[in-house]
Amino acid sequence: MYDYNSARSLRYPTLSLNAASFYVDDLQSVQFGFKKMELGSHENYQADLKLQIPLFTGGKISHQIGIQQENMQFRTLNLESERFNAAYQSRKAYLSLLLSQSLVGSAGASLERIGIIATDVRNLHAAGLADSVDILDADLAYQKALRLMAEKETTRRNASLSLIRQIGLPPGEEIVPTDTAPLPPLPDTTEKTVDSSQISRPELKALDSRIRTANLLISLSKANYFPNLSGYAGYSAGKPNKDLFNKTWNDYFNIGLALNWEFNLGGKTHNSTLSARQSAFSARMAKSRLTEALTLQAGITQENLRYAHRACTIAEKELEIITHEFRLAKEKQQAGKLSVNRLLEMEADLTLAEQMFLVAIINYFISETEYLYAIGAPKIYGGF
């Protein structure tokens, strides 16, 4: 911002003041007949005030202003890129916390189911319908469920700490998500493969600014072929000033034009122009390469998003089947037609299916986050 304002100030007039006071012990003299006159004064006082304004510079000032404006835009876009990346990292960290929170709930539900099975087995054992091995199997399964619960709790706390560090909260804070990830929306069958026109990443806009800066540098270099013309007005006061004989105070005003035209015989301007052209070409190539890389990344993340949706649908169907199967198995076990060990195995399958379904949902939104980040969509700053 300050560099831009500094460049703009070149359009305004400049006011300069030069003042000096000095003593000369030996003056030149002129002989007029029998009279000898000294030129100047032993004591000298001089003050010159000058107001100068540029009239024509061949575009030097306007191009410098444009360059600083693009530099300011470039820095703004770099800041936006960092902000966009921070939103991307924070969104992924939050989804990881949400997943770990859901897995804690699933482990808790599994622990509750196994606890009910263990209670039923003890009741059956008291009635003589189950043996001690069934009790031991139920107790072992309960301990495994406790270990799974502790593991998922630790994962949740670690995910919370990662999110806290990402968003800059004090280490002692605790983040507890109040919402849950919804089911993924229905896929858009009309959605086409992403192309470069759909990508609006801040990095690409920053490279556009870099290209414009390089083009302005070319024009600025060419402007050195033209002269600088400025107008000025001045006021001078002093002793003896212009009057070298009377040695008195006097002043005067002056106004005029100043022309400055420099020619470098070593081809400096030509070489500077060629260098600026190469910089512009390099910036265009950098944008082309980045656009190609981002387009490829967007295409990959789009395919991953489609797969994540299919995986979520499959996991939901698997969970529905295993839930129904476990309910039937529990009824059979209570009727004495299924062993406790087999029921516990099916409960483990149910727990795994629940967790796979929860993972599939979060993976969908993580894949969506990757896709949003690849194309530069502002939705990455929002929720689901």
Please give the single-letter amino acid code of residue 281. F
| pLDDT at residue number 275 | 84
Q: Tokens in use for 122?
A: 């003890």
Per the listing, tokens 């575009």 go with 59
Q: Tokens in use for 104?
A: 């804690």
pTM recorded for the entire structure: 0.76
- DSSP, residue by residue, 315-353: HHHHHHHHHHHHHHHHHHHHTTSS-HHHHHHHHHHHHHH
User: In the 8-state DSSP scheme, what is residue 185?
Assistant: P
Per-residue tens of pLDDT for the chain, all 384 residues: 667 778 778 888 899 999 999 888 877 777 666 667 777 788 889 999 999 999 988 888 888 888 888 888 888 999 999 999 999 998 889 888 888 888 888 888 888 888 888 887 888 777 776 778 878 888 888 898 899 889 988 988 888 888 888 888 887 777 777 777 777 876 664 467 777 777 888 988 899 998 999 898 888 888 888 889 999 999 999 988 887 777 788 889 999 999 988 887 777 788 888 888 888 889 899 989 999 998 999 889 988 998 999 999 999 999 999 999 888 988 887 777 878 888 888 888 888 888 889 889 989 999 999 999 998 888 888 776
> Residue 181: helix, strand or coil by DSSP?
coil
Where are the chain's structural domains? 2-381
* Measured distance CA(303)–CA(119) in Å, rounded: 48
| pLDDT at residue number 271 | 83
Contacts 24+ apart (CB under 8 A), 103-106: 103/152, 103/155, 103/156, 103/355, 103/358, 103/359, 104/149, 104/152, 104/153, 104/156, 106/152, 106/351, 106/354, 106/355, 106/358
* Measured distance CA(21)–CA(43) in Å, rounded: 8
Q: For domain 2-381, is the CATH number 1.20.210.10?
A: no
Per the listing, tokens 């022309």 go with 259
